[in-house]
Amino acid sequence: MFALTATSFSDDDPLSGLTPGEHPDPTPPDGWEVVEVRAASLNHHDLWTLRGVGITEDRLPIVLGCDAAGIAADGREVVLHSVIATGPGDETIADDFNILSEKHDGTFAEKVAVPARNLLPKPPGLSFAEAACLPTAYLTAYRMLFTKGELQPGHRVLIQGAGGGVATAALLLARAAGLHVTVTSRDEDKLARAIELGAHEGVTSGERLPQRVDAVLETVGQATWKHSIRSLKSGGVIVVAGATSGPNPPAELTHVFYRQLRVVGSTMGTKDELERLIALCDATGVRPLVDDTFALEDGRRAFERMAEGELFGKLVLTRD
């Protein structure tokens, strides 16, 4: 089958290890199913893999891609839950937690094997391309907002870094749930686009907010941390799911303890959360924002676009 695989690592030139071409068809173990991939979305995780982050050389070559929607062997239209873990409870904190393309071949291929329990029905109202955007960026945003952030209609949320995949997902989901949304960016065009998508306020990164918020969604890290801390109401929560600008900001501990703030980590989401996210999209009409689509065979161009970083929404690889 045709696939996009990682065959080597390079921090300076990650795309040098991206290899399109033939790859063996999946041979699923007991309890797994093979899905015919119809659409698969890109994530920055795919670039980190090509840099050698979260994976070792003994796993190469490995098919890239975390997210997909497609057709199961019995003809069902399905969305894939990307988290692979055993045991009961929250899969995201299991000892053997991993996601597709870390230990097992991923979704940038004609076919992918996944545990049968990881298949969820795709509603008819969601296209394959839209559904393929849900399992990482949108699921991460859903968990940050509603599970870890415990936000309710009417609460105020600050989303740092307008335009990123998780930030855009959080904006759309927050508005659908009746939250007041403020976004930040250094880019005026991205702020304007976020307002078009429903943000109530757009402020320049670091600028003081007109009113403090109940929660901050933080994926930027070092560059925005001080602003996040100081934008919170007393008793508020920062939910952290990334640190693209650096992992070691000043802790601002005096603000944390005196104003009784909470700092909560969040990674991916459970199958049950993905099921609720799909139901939310189906019921409200919220649809993932797709920046552009590419044929699977043209996947290198999609990777180049993602590496350049000038996106607003998701990039999706599709197959007829």
Residue with the two structure tokens 């904006």: 171
Note the CATH architecture for domain 2-133+288-318: Alpha-Beta Complex (3.90)
Domain spanning 137-265: which CATH class is it, in words?
Answer: alpha beta
User: Comparing 60-64, 164-168, 257-261, 292-296, which segment has the lowest mean pLDDT?
Assistant: 164-168
Helix and strand numbers (H, E) in the chain are 9, 18
pTM of the model: 0.96
As a whole number, mean pLDDT of residues 67-86 equals 97
137-265: same fold as 2-133+288-318? Answer: no
CB < 8 Å & 24+ apart, contacts of 254-262 = 255/229, 255/230, 256/229, 259/232, 259/234, 259/235, 260/234, 260/235, 261/229, 261/232, 261/234, 261/235, 261/236, 261/237, 262/235, 262/236, 262/237, 262/238
Amino acid 131: pLDDT: 98
88-142 pLDDT, tens digit per residue, is: 889 999 999 999 999 999 999 999 999 999 999 999 999 999 999 999 999 999 9
Annotated domain spans of the chain = 2-133+288-318, 137-265
Please give the mean pLDDT across all residues of the chain. Answer: 96
pLDDT at 206: 95
Q: Please state, for a pLDDT cut of 70, what percent of the chain lies above it.
A: 100
- pLDDT, residue 88, reads 81
Q: What is the DSSP letter of 5?
A: E
